[in-house]
Amino acid sequence: MNITQAEITFVVELAKEARRRAYAPYSNYFVGAALRTTTGKFFTGVNIENAAYPSTICAERTAIFSAVAQGEREFDLIAVVTANGGFPCGGCRQVMAEFNLDMTVVIADEDGKIHQTMTVRELLPGAFTPSFLQKNH
């Protein structure tokens, strides 16, 4: 599926807006994500930190988990916005790989400048996917 520049700009703007709602009192590294489903719905997420650090969740997973909780399972585009165009962590890359290795990932900074556009497959080469869990008969 070809994604237009207008579609990318729109999802980056959604992620920028979501980033304003991030809860990051410890790292002060605010992240927003916006996810588009193949049915055209949008879900946003923010990083939510916790004093018990392992309980923290990233923006990308918040968006994906929100979508899944609403019955969505197929995604084609996600934008991640940070102050400096930081990339998703390994855990988020793995969660994205669970749903679509060919999903487009747009990395942008707080000004909306796009730093990188790639697929999950490019972001996580050699991803562990559900196919590895299939039983051989």
pLDDT of residue 1: 59
pLDDT of residue 137: 45
CA of 55: how far to CAs of 5, 50, 58, 120, 124, in Å? 36, 6, 10, 25, 24
pLDDT of residue 90: 96
Which residues of the chain carry a pLDDT beneath 50? 137
Q: What is the DSSP string of 23-35?
A: B-TTT----EEEE
The overall average pLDDT reported for the chain is 96
CA of 106: how far to CAs of 11, 51, 71, 134, 136, in Å? 9, 29, 24, 31, 36
Q: What is 5-133's CATH number?
A: 3.40.140.10
Name the catalytic one among 60, 72, 74, 122.
60
Active-site annotation holds for 60: yes
CA of 36: how far to CAs of 45, 67, 131, 133, in Å? 12, 9, 24, 27
Reported as a single tens digit per residue, the pLDDT across 34-58 is 999 999 999 999 999 999 999 999 9
Coil, strand, or helix at residue 36?
A: strand
